[in-house]
Chain A
């Protein structure tokens, strides 16, 4: 893949991570019901970790000579969230991130450092995905 395409992929992941962090924060503060106690801290921890991923990806963009760019279209309603809704949203975002890093791995073919970074992130996101999917099971 050409450098501009790789930069585009990285910036897409940057947006993916920042939006996920915003959503984790919003879900953490709007979660209701008995799962609030169990999930609020989990979601806040996911927010911190996701924002850290965003920072690392932004640094990768800079390393490649690009400039991190964010184009977010996110509207979060002023409504409380149930535990199941929050976890389903987390699954959607973890899956999106996992696929995005898998695309990066493919796009970075030949760039060993970028490949290793993408591979590590795929593994990490897969763990998160499995974790949230388990929470959804009855």
Chain B
């Protein structure tokens, strides 16, 4: 069985955990209603998923039904948010994908990408953003290649 099949974080779970993290960061609190609106789903649907996340020890409820993240839940949410940021930057800054499309695609991939792959992507971004002459040449060559398929001028004639 592949590691993919072992991954306990589904698309829906990832979205719920990240939604709570974002709401807590923005407003300082998160209720089922807020998560439902944030994700564009019904409260009933949000409530069912959140209950199961509570049972898995990822989400907490206080006495007034305000939501929180357990330490494990916070780690999962932070990991997904970090991967999301790397993937979005990679799509926009390197591949030239427009922001809206990048956001949609990132949303589909964020919970599937391994930490190792995300780290490699981050290193590539670090290299590109280093501003070195090699990085500038790489970006320029890739930009030309993307447009007309002839970016690798130095390799011509080899």
Distance (whole angstroms) from the CB of A129 to the closest CB of chain B: 12
Distance (whole angstroms) from the CB of A16 to the closest CB of chain B: 5
New A-B contacts (4) at CB < 8 Å, excluding given A89-B48, A95-B47: A16-B43, A74-B45, A88-B51, A100-B33
List B contacts of A89 (CB < 8 A): 48
Residues A93 and B33 in contact, CB atoms below 8 Å apart: no
Distance (whole angstroms) from the CB of A72 to the closest CB of chain B: 7
Question: Which 6 residue pairs spanning A and B have beta carbons closest together?
Answer: A96-B43, A93-B44, A92-B47, A96-B44, A16-B42, A92-B48
Known A96-B32, A103-B33: A73·B40 in contact at CB below 8 Å: yes
B41 on the interface (CB 8 Å rule)? yes
Chain A contact-residue range equals: 20 to 34
List B contacts of A99 (CB < 8 A): 32-33, 43
Total A-B contacts with CB atoms under 8 angstroms apart? 44
**How far does the alpha carbon of A96 sit from the alpha carbon of B37 in the complex, in Å?**
12
Distance (whole angstroms) from the CB of B64 to the closest CB of chain A: 12
Distance (whole angstroms) from the CB of A85 to the closest CB of chain B: 10
Interface residues of B (CB under 8 A from A): 32-33, 36-37, 40-48, 51
List B contacts of A23 (CB < 8 A): 44
**How far does the alpha carbon of A12 sit from the alpha carbon of B41 in the complex, in Å?**
9
List A contacts of B36 (CB < 8 A): 96
B-contact 0/1 string along A82-122, CB 8 Å cutoff: 00000011001101110110010000000000000000000
A20 on the interface (CB 8 Å rule)? yes
A63 on the interface (CB 8 Å rule)? no
List A contacts of B44 (CB < 8 A): 16, 19-20, 23, 92-93, 96-97
Distance (whole angstroms) from the CB of A25 to the closest CB of chain B: 14
